[in-house]
Structure 1
Amino acid sequence: MLYSKILSLRQNHLGYITINPLLNAFSLEMCQEIDAAENDEFIRKTRNSILNRLKNYEIGYHVELQQALRDYSEAATYLSLKSKGILLEKVPENTNKTPDFKVNLEGKEFFIEIKTLGFGGGEENYIKAMEQGLDAQVSIENQLKAGNTTAIAITAINPLKQGEQDYSYSRQKDFIETIIKKIKGLVKQGQFEAGSTILLIDLSLIPIPADFKVNSIPIFPLFENQKLKNLVSGILWYSAFGKENERIFSPIEFEGDANIKSELSIEGILNKNDFIKALCFQVYNLRQERKVVGFYRAKDEDSIMPLLSPFCDFVNDEMNTNGWRILQML
């Protein structure tokens, strides 16, 4: 049901819009998994919610599509955690702020709060991305009508863009600060008061440059597909542990270009916000494979690792204790 709905919507978009980042964030493979798990009460209710939100949706941007993606992300994360042997249950919603899921593991109770980060600039940036897609589609049609046997159109999406301030995709600082600011805007302390709570951030709409593992350490050498060898700051690590006024390494784009282009103007999420026991990022590679990296404070290692270890593909702390594992692979 969900698979066929998303597939149908994508096919409908082909004749009008070449880019719809919200719709494209739905993995058809995961939609099939959600359909197959309909006997699970939470999945069944969530799928019904998604389908209901998309009932009258046809094309372009609509807030219901964005909310449907939020529900989808929650369902996909739920199934991903269950596939790793983690038993979790949905926390009933009430008038008070509550986390999304409760987990009982090794006799300990944990909670997980899931947030999906959207584009910088919100609705305006989504609409502009789709307008670019429409312009590209018109250009392709005009080229074909003119007798060309092939047609090409180029579009560029910048999910970091904030109004007139066009953040650079090549600057690590812009990624880091966008992620931190958006997390701060979404997090409410009341959602973390039920007990030890992990914040899980879905980055399906903000793909980060380079592999998630190298972005999980403070600094790494960037050689692949680069004209010049680079030292680059890890986006995810600094989003968790970066400090105000700390210098950030960004890719060198030409000979003589500065490697340190800026300083952070904001603190990482785990430097403060003690009510967040760990910060996890859910990222996706080009094959839409889901990977999770977890960050924790070194002092909390014994208490939080029982939950992080089973479902994280890599973990690290503010001391970069596990950085050596990544560096040995480079």
Structure 2
Amino acid sequence: DNSAVDHGTPLDRRFSFASYVVGRSNALAHAAALRVATAEPGDPVEFNPLYIHGPVGTGKTHLMNAIAWEIRRRSRDRKVLFLSAIRFMSSFVEALKARDTIAFKKRFSGIDVLMIDDMQFLQGKAVQQEFCHIFNSLDDSTHQIIIAGDQPPSRLEVLDDRMRSRLSGGLVAQIGAADFELRRGILDKRVGQMATTDAKIEIPSSVLDFLARRIQSSGREIEGALNRVVAAHSLNKLPITVEQAAESIRDLISESHVRQVMIEDILRAVSGHFNVTRQDLLSARRHKSVVFPRQIGMYLAKTLTTRSLPEIGRKFGGRDHTTVLHAVRKIEGLLGKDDTVRQSVDALASQLRE
């Protein structure tokens, strides 16, 4: 039932506060959204407007939907109008063509909460003037305005100075790029959702770690990468391993991203971390003080670069690809049960990304 949004953009039931994963980069935006959504009818409006901004795919629309659903759950009498900026523009243009702007204005007169998504697309002098009039009529102690965009108000060059200033006058909450912990949390949440429909699905922690390290763009792309891995397993009957995951998402990793980490960098980082020499890592020595760091290095080379197993073997002292495969699988197995190994791999991966 989308009646919480009268004649507006339909809501997506997947996007609720319960399904939103909170991390350091989105904590303020989440807290502000929750405060607005749980305010009691009649309470003074605390943040007006609440302006949420961040890059594409970082969860702005998810939070907007979550706010609308929560308000709906708490009070079915409160009227919420949720529109994309494009929907606002098209509706206004249609009203102009029909010579019925009065009816357009009336749509906003009886609402309690106005929500506008993708504010950066609100273009055109007449459209912006109309929005400004509506904004001014609702910007008081009883009506809540919530806006989302990909830039902070100060950088919305399509708007005039006065409107940018008004949008900055409430609370501006940024959603930044997701760190490893947040990306991992998104994957865990998605896997949990998958398990409700397919109890047989089991994805090793090492594969989730790999995806969280390699896909560093948006939450949307992280979920897409996971879907690829699961599809390869389901449709092609392939095992869910780090190697298979790497093959499934190969084209998602940009060339510039791949070049950030070289095997030579990995050798240098592993040498420093474990206090062994580069020569030791490349040598034939079999002492555990050398073998384990060497295996860590091979695992990092496989997960942080697009080098093939034979190429990694050659870079690690001319070893066979089966040796590299054994090392990758051993570290993959240890990551799920040995915190010390996981901490070492995480520390090295973070160092190599800097």
- Which bin holds the TM-score, normalised by the shorter protein? under 0.3
The structure with higher relative contact order (CA 8 Å, sep 6+) is 2
User: What TM-score do you get using the length of structure 1 for normalisation?
Assistant: 0.27
TM-score, normalised to structure 2's length? 0.26
- Which one has the bigger helix percentage? 2
